[in-house]
Amino acid sequence: MGTTARNDITGMAIKSRAQTGAYRSGWDAIFAKKTPDEWINERLDGKVIVLDPDGWREDDTPYDKPITYKDFCNRLSNSTIQTNLSLSAFNL
């Protein structure tokens, strides 16, 4: 066996490190799939009421089907909602 591979810039050994909270949060933001109500409660503090889920009708996706946050935001932006949040709260 040879020597451990090292990063040319940092000199640190190249190996997987333990997952951090930031890693899990980033992964969750990109790949996690949750129902719209779960996204509303988690990301928007439950301060959004979907009055008419128009954004879910475009391709007949069931409203309760788990989807990514990006897909949720796209669908929510095409739906009729009631909220007192500013657009910056959506982190689009």
pLDDT in tens, 32-61: 999 999 999 998 989 999 999 999 998 999
Q: Domain-by-domain residue ranges, the chain?
A: 33-90
Q: Whose structure tokens read 């009729």?
A: 80
| 33 Cβ contact list (under 8 Å, min separation 6) | 66, 67, 68
**22 C-beta neighbours (distance < 10 Å), count:** 8
Partners of 34 in the β-ladder: 67
Whether pTM > 0.85 for this model: the answer is: no
Mean pLDDT of the chain: 88
